[in-house]
Amino acid sequence: MLRDTLKKLLSVYGPSGNEHAVAETVKSLIAAHVDNMRVDAMGNLIVEKYGADENGKRILFSAHMDHIGFIVTDIDENGFLRVHNVGGVSPRISSARHVVFENGTEGVLYCQPLKGEEMAMKHLFIDIGAESRQEAEQYVLPGDMAVYAPDYFELGDHRMASPAMDDRCCCALLCELMMYLDEPKNTVIGVFSSQEEVGIRGAKTAAYSVNPDMGVGLDVTAWGDTPEVKLPAIQLGKGAAVKFMDRSMIATPAVRDALLQAAADAGVPVQREVLPFGGQDGSAIQHTRSGVPAGCLSIPCRYVHSPAEVIDLRDLEGALRILLKFVENV
Amino acid sequence: MRTEDFLRESAALPGLSGNEQAVARYIADAFRPLCDEVRIDPLNSVIARIQGRGPKVMLCAHLDEIGLMVSRIEEDGALRVGHVGGVDPRILPGMRVTVYGRETLLGVVGAKAPHLLTAEERKKNYKEEDLYIDLGMPAERVRQLVQIGDCVTLEGGFTKLLNGRYAMKTADDRSCVAILLRAAELLQRVDTAADLYFVASCQEEVGGYGAMTAGFGVDPDMGIVLDVTHAKTPGTPEYEAFSIESPTIARGPFLHPVLTARLEEIAKANNIQFQQEIVPRYTSTDADDLEAVRGGVPCMLLSLPVRYMHTSVETFDMRALEESARLLAACCAAIDDTWRDDLWI
Amino acid sequence: MDLKTLCEINAPSGNERELRRAILEEARGLCGAENVRIDRMGNVLAFRKGREVGRPHVCVSAHMDEVGFIVLGATEEGLLQFRPVGCIDPRVIVSKRVTLGDQKLPGVIGAMAIHLQTDKDMERVLGYKDLYIDIGAKDKDDALAHCPPGAYASFDTPYTPFGEGFVCAKALDDRVGCYNMLELMRERYPGDVTFAFLTREEVGLRGSIGAGYAVQPDISINLEGTAANDLGCTESRFDVCCPGRGVAVSFMDNSSVYQRRLYQKLNRLADKGGIAHQPKRGVTGNNDAANFQRAAGGALACTLSVPCRYIHSGASVCCLSDVEAQYALTRAFLMNA
């Protein structure tokens, strides 16, 4: 079940560059359903399911495992940790948060008094309860990363919130896709990528080494359906979104249209997405080697990059049906 | 084909970055009588080859253009748009645009009338979110014909001014594609040693992805990139804008010093006027991306000065275009195996 | 080749020819001419075959280029107008000496005498559009005859040891890395090693794009000189790293999150070998490791830096014991990779 798979993935620690625990969880979920799995130097987990047709295409789907976090850059004499952001963290929504390190050390992220300045990362610190640098260093060293404490909860019948929804919901989607694929004619390669949040870095090397015929990024997108938010014209619960463009990529028309066609064939609602910002793994696929037709299927997600990223599970389930049809069609 | 006809016809075709199919097909057809092989690659770059035995040279000018994409359809049928490439929203109010929906539609870019603005508001420029496209039809009809993601091109006029100057949409960079075509024409009767790849690249305006991917496929020994640069108009900064009357050859850390010096010598030997352009950092052309393909591609950069860049009235001088083509052809004719030697010592 | 010789050669980004020649000659002598080549971006790649098979291929890299200037043109009076190549704060260049072109023509960067400046002038930062290089030319033609547009200039700073174990020079970023690579090249190691001397780091990590693709190593160790910000009673959280406390090992910067297992291995090796080391705590800045880490199918990567004060100025300062520590840790890694 998609919902259960998602829950298993939402509670795993995995800031950019430290995704191995997520990769292990994914492996345990899908090992029985794929033909091979490997982890590359960048920490991407690359899984493959062979197609029945010798002349079939090699289709790559990429969903990133990492999420945003905080890296410790200094520990002061009183044991407070200074941090820098890993990925696109808003300092404003980070203050007064419960955070966790890989070894389980818990902390409170808080902000020093501001003297008329705008809040920035340099004003934030983590309190792990230590009383001195020496005590703090027993638990945490510079270079260690913290994330918003793993969490999830359900909102109404269909929606769910978590700090790791971006992009574990698509990791769950990709896991389920690999599980549901039954002797596909095309070879399907799943990349659970690393370091997307710091600049689409993992997908770049994965796309190069996989060298597919076609690719689709799977990621969350922004929303336009809460008070005073209008763009993008995307609503939760109205279906997954086929991307036309964002700042990293103009979707290849053939792939974009094939995704729209797959949605129509599957009888699943779908939205069209023109995002004036942001980027995702699809761009790394499109721009690798001599160019690979690539697009992106997005899951609408409210409050992206906050401790409570909200999606509608119906959109995720619809996306699974679209992808299954897409693999069959192309 | 006459250069003027090529420019007029290509300017009328849509070619927004990433959605260049129509203009790519047209350009491929234009190269076909001049080249040994012509193909359109998976991302819409046109790759046309005049086969030779010597060094592989990639000549590159981009075929894509800046424009708009429908991002939302309002209740009343007004279209909101996002930009593809660097579109200055200040040029948009009152512009006639073409919307490529289920039908090709004329639209007008509207904004709140000045009479209704406060004195304070009137001092500010319009932002993209203040503007909309009016299709002059009821909202239900708009929704039947237009969807989010449809492409919108800027006004596509082509105007002949005095003294062989022309104003058009997409002089950036179809004027340079015209240089490629003209150079290919001039080379028809020349037995060149070099293996020449004329590449009209896609997706330059959103990041040089066409030059990057086409370059990977071609895997050339060297590159000559053509793009537009700024022509002088009142107030343009010194050293960053040039006379409209002749092309520029650029020098700087992103361009190969030895090859560039050879290009300059060829210009002098053929009495072709050129200006020197010093670029201390990124050139902001396909050269930045082609240069970084695989293990590296040593590049030269030849630019055509254009006034009013990134508007629908980009203006250039036809003689400068013709001279650029003559220089490019002369350079292609001169390149032989010795050009691969001693580039770095 | 000693550090003094390396620092005093001019090699602004895009014009590394003189240094490339010097390094090429030295590398050929150490590795054998057949093992040294220049790639398509002007990088020097020297290969050292390993003694054993089955070991990872390690690429050790450092960039040859330094920040400098490029001439745009000249005023009617014969003063050269110029722009920086790489990032140089214009506030650090007034009243400094430079040399221009292959012939190393001396020039000075002057500014209007303070006596002639108004109070308002004094508050303003002088930008590149206000500054000129004076080579003593009579007029525009004279100036351009000596230094045509496109001519490069470098700071003219003699390499000078000072204080206790410190040195002041131009281009310590990254001649310290070049120096250590030439030293490391004297030995053979268990595994294959490529030493990559890179072009054009300072204008956006360019040379390493080509070298990364050409070499495609399993592991990349990038040697750098990096910004230190330790003096003047700064708070420790703004230090980045401190001269005299050893080689700085990076866990993250603006262009890379380094793989943790490699970062930890380097720390363990330094601890075991008694090599002075510190984490590089500032996470801003970019370097060539990014392009090795993410070339083609990807590699493990880390950056080992010598802390340098006043980086990107005419007078950068580092501690020689840190240069030795960078050598020692890199060597320990190559012996154990």
Q: 10 Å Cβ neighbour count for A241?
A: 29
Q: Report d(CA B290, CA C131) in Å as an integer.
A: 34
Q: Report d(CA A329, CA B135) in Å as an integer.
A: 36
Residues of chain C in contact with residue B297, where contact means CB-CB under 8 angstroms, are 40
Is residue B117 predicted with pLDDT exceeding 80?
A: no
* pLDDT score for C235: 82
Report pLDDT digits (tens) over C126-159. 899 989 999 999 999 999 999 999 999 999 999 9
Radius of gyration of the CA atoms of chain A, in A: 20
**What is the identity of the amino acid at C233?**
C
Q: Is B278 helix (H, G, I), strand (E, B) or coil?
A: strand
Contact A274/B148, CB-based, under 8 Å? yes
Measure the CA angle with vertex B66, ends B61 and B70; round to 5°.
Answer: 145
Measure the CA angle with vertex C86, ends C80 and C87; round to 5°.
Answer: 100
Hey, what CATH class is B3-65+157-340 in? alpha beta
Q: Report d(CA A102, CA A20) in Å as an integer.
A: 11
| Cβ pair C188, C49 in contact under 8 A | yes
Please say if B204 is a catalytic residue. yes
Q: Report d(CA B14, CA B65) in Å as an integer.
A: 8
Min Cα distance A258 → chain B (Å) is 15
Report pLDDT digits (tens) over C256-283. 999 999 999 999 999 999 999 999 998 9
Task: Identify the residue among A60, A71, A74 best suited for mutation to test binding to C, counting C beta carbons within 10 A and taking the highest.
Answer: A74
- Of residues C87, C61, C81, C67, the one with CA closest to residue C13: C67
Q: Report d(CA B72, CA A276) in Å as an integer.
A: 11
Is residue B7 predicted with pLDDT exceeding 90?
A: yes
Phi, psi dihedral angles at B218 (to 5 degrees)? -75, -35
Q: Report d(CA A196, CA A63) in Å as an integer.
A: 9
CATH code of domain C68-155: 2.40.30.40
Give ranges for CATH 3.40.630.10 in chain A. Answer: 2-67+164-329
For chain B, what percentages of helix, strand and coil (3-state, to nearest 5) are there? 30, 30, 40
Q: 10 Å Cβ neighbour count for C115?
A: 5
**What tokens appear for A88 in the block?**
């696109």
Q: What's the CATH architecture for C3-66+170-336?
A: 3-Layer(aba) Sandwich (3.40)
Contact A42/C251, CB-based, under 8 Å? no
Where are the strands (E) in chain A, listed by range?
36-39, 45-49, 58-64, 69-75, 80-86, 97-101, 106-111, 124-127, 145-148, 153-155, 159-162, 187-193, 214-221, 240-245, 270-274, 294-300, 309-312
* pLDDT score for C181: 98
User: Is the CB of residue A121 less than 8 Å away from at least one CB of chain C?
Assistant: no
Q: Is B325 helix (H, G, I), strand (E, B) or coil?
A: helix
Min Cα distance C145 → chain B (Å) is 15
Say what the pTM is.
Answer: 0.95
Contact B291/C21, CB-based, under 8 Å? no
Contact C83/B297, CB-based, under 8 Å? no
Residues of chain C in contact with residue A205, where contact means CB-CB under 8 angstroms, are 294-298
User: Is the CB of residue B40 less than 8 Å away from at least one CB of chain A?
Assistant: no
Q: Report d(CA B314, CA A51) in Å as an integer.
A: 51
User: Is the CB of residue C40 less than 8 Å away from at least one CB of chain A?
Assistant: no
Annotated catalytic residue within B9, B20, B121, B204: B204
Give ranges for CATH 2.40.30.40 in chain A. Answer: 69-148
Largest CA-CA distance found in chain A, in angstroms, rounded: 66
| C115 confidence band (pLDDT: 50, 70, 90) | confident
User: Is the CB of residue C237 less than 8 Å away from at least one CB of chain A?
Assistant: yes
* C68-155 shares the fold of C3-66+170-336: no
User: Is the CB of residue A93 less than 8 Å away from at least one CB of chain C?
Assistant: no
- Of residues B31, B24, B29, B68, the one with CA closest to residue B45: B24
Q: Which residues pair with B304 in a beta bridge?
A: B228
Looking only at the bridges linking them, the beta strands covering B56-62 and B195-201 are parallel
Q: Report d(CA B113, CA C305) in Å as an integer.
A: 59
* CB within 8 Å of chain A, chain C residues 248-267: 251-252, 257-260, 263
| Cβ pair A257, A288 in contact under 8 A | no
Q: Report d(CA A166, CA A14) in Å as an integer.
A: 11
| Cβ pair C167, C307 in contact under 8 A | no
The chains in contact with chain B, meaning 3 or more Cβ pairs closer than 8 Å, are: A, C
Is residue C337 predicted with pLDDT exceeding 90?
A: no
**What tokens appear for C217 in the block?**
């190593």
Q: Report d(CA C59, CA C46) in Å as an integer.
A: 10
**What tokens appear for A27 in the block?**
């492996």
Looking only at the bridges linking them, the beta strands covering C96-100 and C152-155 are antiparallel
CATH code of domain A2-67+164-329: 3.40.630.10
Domain positions in chain B are 3-65+157-340, 67-153
Report pLDDT digits (tens) over C155-191. 999 999 999 999 999 999 999 999 999 999 999 999 9
Tell me how far the alpha carbon of residue A244 is from its chain's centroid: 19
- Of residues C260, B87, B300, the one with CA closest to residue A145: C260
Q: Which of C237, C260, C298 sits opposite A41 (nearest CB)?
A: C298
Active site residues of A: 196
Q: Report d(CA B286, CA A144) in Å as an integer.
A: 39
**What tokens appear for B74 in the block?**
């309002």
Contact B209/A293, CB-based, under 8 Å? no
- CA closest to B213 among chain A residues: A290
Average the pLDDT over each of A266-270, B20-24, B125-129 and give the range with the smallest value: B125-129
Domain positions in chain C are 3-66+170-336, 68-155
| C19 confidence band (pLDDT: 50, 70, 90) | very high
| Cβ pair B23, B6 in contact under 8 A | no
User: Is the CB of residue C296 less than 8 Å away from at least one CB of chain A?
Assistant: yes
Task: Identify the residue among A230, A245, A288 best suited for mutation to test binding to B, counting B beta carbons within 10 A and taking the highest.
Answer: A245
Q: Which of B280, B282, B298 sits opposite C70 (nearest CB)?
A: B280
Q: Report d(CA C90, CA C69) in Å as an integer.
A: 11
| Fold of domain B67-153 | Elongation Factor Tu (Ef-tu); domain 3 (2.40.30)
Superfamily holding A69-148: Peptidase M42, domain 2 (2.40.30.40)
Contact B217/A291, CB-based, under 8 Å? yes
| B155 confidence band (pLDDT: 50, 70, 90) | confident
